[in-house]
Amino acid sequence: MKNKIKIIAFDADDTLWLNEVYYRKTEHDFADLLKEYGERDFVIEELFKTEMQNLKLYGYGAKGFMLSMLETAIRVSAGKVSSEIQRGILELGKSLLLSPLVLLPQVMEVLTKLKTQYKLILATKGDLLDQERKLENSKLNEFFHHVEIMSDKKEDNYQKLLNHLDIKADELLMIGNSLKSDIIPPLNLGCFAAHIPHETTWQHEKVGDDKISNDRFYNLKHLKDILQELI
C-alpha cells in the first residue's frame, strides 16, 4: 500500500474527535422532554424516522437534527407540544452545536508522523459552518493540505474529490470510522481504505464488514495501527 499512496484522507467525526456520543445524549434528553407523549424508545425511533425523511432536504449535521427534533415533537404530540418544550428543544440543539471538542487518542501522534511522508487532507460530511468550527477548535488545521466538507459521502462525492486532487484512485487512502460512508464508496472506486471503529456508531451508518473482501481494505483496531502499514 505505502508504495502507491500519495494522499491520505481522514474523516473527522468519531475518527479524529468525539461526535456521536453528543448526539446520543441529546436524543435521550429529547426523549425526556417528550416523556408525556411516549416511552423513550418510541420517541427516539420516531426521531430517527424523521431524520431519514429529512436527510435529502437538510443534509447531515446538528441544525438538521434540531429541525427533525422539532418536527418529531409536533407529530408525536399531535400538535399539542408546548412552547416551553419547543424552547427546550432549541436549547438542546444549541448545546449540541456548542459541544466541547475532544480529540480521540493517538490523533496528534499519527498526524504528526504521517505528515512527514504524505500529503494529508480532511474529507468529512456535515454542516459547513459546524464542521469548520470544529476544525478550528481542534487546532488540527496545520496538518491538512486540503479540507473537503461534503454534503454526502457516496461514490460520486469521492470521484469529485479525486478529480479535484488530480490523482488516481489507488493513490488515495481514506481513513474513517464508518464502513458505509468512509470505506465502501472509496473501495468501490479503487481507493485504499482503513476502518478504525468507534464505540458509538449512528444507526444510519451501521453495516456489516463480513461482505468486504478487498485487498485494499484494512480493518484496524486503533488509529495508531495505520503507522505500521504506512511507515
Q: How far apart are CA 10 and CA 80, in angstroms?
A: 44
Three-state secondary structure call for residue 202: coil
Decide if 196 contacts 176 (C-beta within 8 A).
Answer: yes
217 bridge partner residues: 193
| φ and ψ at residue 7, rounded to 5 degrees | -130, 135
**pTM above 0.85?**
yes
For residue 144, report the phi and psi dihedrals to the nearest 5 degrees.
-105, 125
For residues 226 and 110, the answer to whether their CB atoms sit within 8 Å is yes
Spatial contact of 171 and 4, defined as CB atoms under 8 Å apart = yes
**83-97 and 62-76 helices, crossing angle to 10°:** 160
Which residue ranges form the domains of the chain, and what is each CATH number?
7-18+102-230 (3.40.50.1000), 20-97 (1.10.150.240)
Query: For each of the chain's 231 residues, which pLDDT tens digit applies?
Result: 667 899 999 999 999 999 999 999 999 999 999 999 999 999 999 999 999 999 999 999 999 999 999 999 999 999 999 999 999 999 999 999 999 999 999 999 999 999 999 999 999 999 999 999 999 999 999 999 999 999 999 999 999 999 999 999 999 999 999 999 999 999 999 999 999 998 656 565 556 655 677 889 999 999 999 999 898
